[in-house]
Amino acid sequence: MASLKIRDKNYEQVDPFGGLTADRLKVTTLSDAYDLALDNEPVTGMLGSKTWHLGMIGHGSALPGADKDPVAILEKLTGLTNTNENIYTVPDISDLDRLAAFGDELDTRDGSRDGKWRGHPLAEPDEVHYTPAIADYEEWLLRRMMRAEGFGADDISDLLYVNFKTADVAGHKWGMTSPEVGEIIKAQDTNLRRFMDFLDQRVGEGEWVLFLTADHGQTPYPHESGAWPIFGGELAADMNAVFDKTDDDINLISSVGAAGVFVRIDQLEANDAKLEKMARWVSGYTIGENIKEGAEVPEGFEGREDELLMDAVLVKDRLVSVVCRKT
C-alpha cells in the first residue's frame, strides 16, 4: 500500500516516496532487475501522477550498477511533468498549450463554449485534472514519451509503466456512479484503444504485450450504499481515551486511515496496552460510538447506533476477532 503513510524508525508517519526518492524502497522492482540483467540496454520508464507510482519503476540510478530511467510525474496543479533528476531523467514532453486544447475540445462537446464541462470549470490545470481531457492529455504524453525516449525502437524489449489516474480522482470527487465518472471511463477506454493502435504502428502488430491492472476498486457514496463511512479521527480519539493512560503529549494511536490503526509501538509498555486487547475493543465498536459528541445521527442511520462497524480485526497478519452477523 505504497500510497499510504509508513512508519519510520522514530515511529513517525512519513510519505514513503517523499521528495521523489526511492530511499525507503527495500527491494528491487521488476524494472530494476530487468534493466540490470540486460546491462541497462532496455529503456525502462514510467508515466504517473503520484509519488507512490515510483514503486513501479524502482530505484533508478540509486541502485548500484543501474542507470537513470525516464520518469515523468504529471503534476495536478500545473499540468507539467516532474521527476527527481538525481536518479531519473525527465522526458521533455509537457505542453500546456496541448492540455488547454484538450480542455477547449471538451468544452465544445456539449454544444456551447462556456469554459465548463457538465457545469464544472475548465480554466485551470487542476480543474481539468478531473475530466476526460486529462485522459486525452495523458495518452498524448505517453505517445510523446515513447518517441522521445526511444521505446520500441530496436529489438530489445523495453518496459514502460503507466498510471491513468483520472477515474480514481473523479470517483473521489463526484462518486463512482456519477455521470462524470462514466464519461471519464469511456474516455479512458477510447484512449486505451488509441494507444494500442499506436503500439501497432510504432512497435509492430503482435510485437508488444500490454498488462492492464487495477490496484483497487471504488464504493458508492454512503447515501447510495447504506454503509457507514468510518470516521478515522473519531475512532482514534475514542481509542486514545480508553487506552492512552500517560500524560506525555504523545498519542498512543497516531491515526486511523484506510490501511488501519497506526499504533505507537514505543508507547505500548508505558500505557500497559496490548495490541490484541485493543483489537478486540475495536471489534465491538459501533456506529453510535463513531458519531462525534453532540452531533446528530445522520439521516438514514437512525436506529442503527448499536450496529457493529467491523467484520474482522487483525493485528499485523494475525486474525484476532471475527464478528458474526445475522443475515
Do 158 and 42 meet the contact criterion of CB atoms below 8 Å apart?
yes
Question: What is the rounded average pLDDT of the residues 226-243?
Answer: 95
| Domains defined for the chain, CATH in brackets | 6-218 (3.40.720.10), 225-322 (no CATH)
Q: How confident is the model at residue 325 (pLDDT cuts 50, 70, 90)?
A: low
- The CA distances from residue 276 to 107, 258, 304, 315, 316, in Å, are 55, 20, 27, 7, 10
Q: How confident is the model at residue 18 (pLDDT cuts 50, 70, 90)?
A: confident
Grid cell 504529471 in the structure block, residue: 74
pLDDT at 2 exceeding the cut of 80: no
DSSP letter, residue 305: T
Question: What is the rounded average pLDDT of the residues 97-115?
Answer: 92
Summarised one tens digit per residue, pLDDT across range 25-76 is 889 999 999 999 999 999 999 999 998 899 999 999 999 999 999 999 999 9
Whole-angstrom distance, CA of residue 24 vs CA of residue 304: 43
pLDDT at 326 exceeding the cut of 90: no
What is the reported pLDDT for 111? 82
pLDDT at 170 exceeding the cut of 70: yes
C-alpha cell at 158: 523495453
Element (H, E) at 70: strand 69-74
* Listed range (3-7, 147-151, 209-213) with the worst mean pLDDT: 3-7
What is the reported pLDDT for 285? 96
Q: How confident is the model at residue 9 (pLDDT cuts 50, 70, 90)?
A: confident
Side chain identity, residue 304 = R
Summarised one tens digit per residue, pLDDT across range 251-276 is 999 999 888 899 999 999 999 999 99
Element (H, E) at 256: strand 253-257
- Mean pLDDT score of the chain: 92
pLDDT at 3 exceeding the cut of 60: no
